[in-house]
A and B are shown apart, each in its own frame.
Chain A
Amino acid sequence: KAGVTQTPRYLIKTRGQQVTLSCSPISGHRSVSWYQQTPGQGLQFLFEYFSETQRNKGNFPGRFSGRQFSNSRSEMNVSTLELGDSALYLCASSLDGRQGATGELFFGEGSRLTVL
């Protein structure tokens, strides 16, 4: 069974640009979450999508947005990039709790964004 796939794995952008990251969840998983990981702040929750709807949102500015498609694939977008946006962006998929799932998050390998 294929795991969570994130693309691109590495990218370099300059301040002011925008970036789109993609995530394909494990087959059958309909919940997709995004996290930002930095050395100082650790893993911080960005948002979670289920059935194309954003169910939960973290405390990030509006420059961070996301969406989910009908096949559960998800994208996140960061506009007007700042130096502080340099981080590892992790996508995680999960079975919905109503299916008796434990709530385990299955993480992808991440997209490492460097903003110059």
Chain B
Amino acid sequence: QKEVEQNSGPLSVPEGAIASLNCTYSDRGSQSFFWYRQYSGKSPELIMFIYSNGDKEDGRFTAQLNKASQYVSLLIRDSQPSDSATYLCAVNRGGTYKYIFGTGTRLKVLA
């Protein structure tokens, strides 16, 4: 079992729809959770981070964390073609700078 698992996709959604990206993790000691976006040929850039159970909203993006079920998700509302990228989930135990990344979900937003 991988430490951080994501469906590789591609996940295809029509423009304007909600894209839902999921991530599960195995280490119950994980404390910090991050979503990075990586465009093809580019380096990852942070979209959101979440530390506490529940939802955290930032513009069109909402991160959801459920520590009991060990999953974290990212919702993208009103998806745009410019959102087409690979989304990487990363977790951290806290107190270290060792981040475990999932292999990413490729999102395609169809115009």
Q: Do A and B bind each other?
A: yes
* Chain B residues at the A interface, C-beta cutoff of 8 Å: 32, 34, 36, 42-46, 49, 88, 90, 92, 95-104
B interface, by DSSP: helix, strand, loop or mixed? strand
Closest residue to A44 on the B side, CB-wise?
A: B101
Closest residue to A32 on the B side, CB-wise?
A: B97
Chain B nearest CB from A96 CB (Å) reads 9
A interface, by DSSP: helix, strand, loop or mixed? strand
Chain B nearest CB from A114 CB (Å) reads 15
Given that A42-B102, A90-B43 are contacting pairs, would A104 and B97 also be in contact in the complex, using a CB cutoff of 8 Å? no
How many chain A residues touch B (CB < 8 A): the figure is 25
Contacts of A40 in B (CB 8 A): 103
A43 touches B34 (CB 8 A): no
Most buried by A among B34, B43, B45, B92: B43
